[in-house]
């Protein structure tokens, strides 16, 4: 479990994925490639993502959960898929702005 707070940085231990927290709070079981993520700069890459969590993470994309309580920004791409508390995090869709006419 890691403490999610805006500005916190995490890295995968099974691929090159790195993220920064945009929105979130509290303790979360944050994983990438099926393995727990650690604070950035504190772990080494060993092994590879599990087959069911190898969808990849794209650089510069925001990932979030269905109820929009967690949002992560990928600062480094990798082969593993992101998940929080067992639920996959999906690429967040851009919100449309209201018309200004």
Is residue 99 a part of any domain in this protein? no
Domain membership of residue 52 (yes or no) is yes
Structural domain includes residue 75: yes
- Confidence (pLDDT) at 101: 66
Going by pLDDT thresholds of 50, 70 and 90, the confidence category of residue 27 is very high
Q: Domain for residue 98, yes or no?
A: no
How many domains does the chain divide into? 1
User: Which position has the higher pLDDT, 43 or 14?
Assistant: 14
Does any domain span residue 96? Answer: no
97 in a domain, yes or no?
no
Q: How confident is the model at residue 25, as a pLDDT?
A: 83
Mean pLDDT of 17-21: 97
pLDDT band at 29 (very low <50, low <70, confident <90, very high): very high
Q: What is the pTM of this model?
A: 0.89
33-88 pLDDT per residue, tens: 999 999 998 888 898 999 999 999 999 999 999 888 999 999 999 999 999 999 99
Q: Is 87 within a domain?
A: yes
Asked whether residue 100 is assigned to any structural domain, the reply reads no
Range of the domain at 18: 2-91
Give the pLDDT mean for 14-26. Answer: 94
Q: Name every residue whose Cβ is closer than 8 Å to that of residue 101 and which is 6 or more positions away in sequence.
A: none
């Amino acid at each position: 479990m890691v403490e999610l707070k805006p500005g916190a940085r995490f890295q995968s231990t099974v691929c090159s994925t790195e993220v920064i927290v945009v929105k979130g709070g509290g303790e979360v079981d944050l994983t990438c490639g099926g393995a727990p993520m650690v604070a950035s700069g504190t772990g080494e890459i060993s092994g590879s993502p599990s087959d069911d969590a190898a969808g990849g993470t794209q650089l510069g994309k925001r990932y979030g959960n269905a109820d929009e309580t967690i949002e992560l920004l990928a600062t480094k791409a990798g082969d593993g898929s992101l998940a929080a508390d067992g639920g996959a995090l999906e690429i967040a869709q851009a919100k449309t702005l209201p018309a200004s006419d």
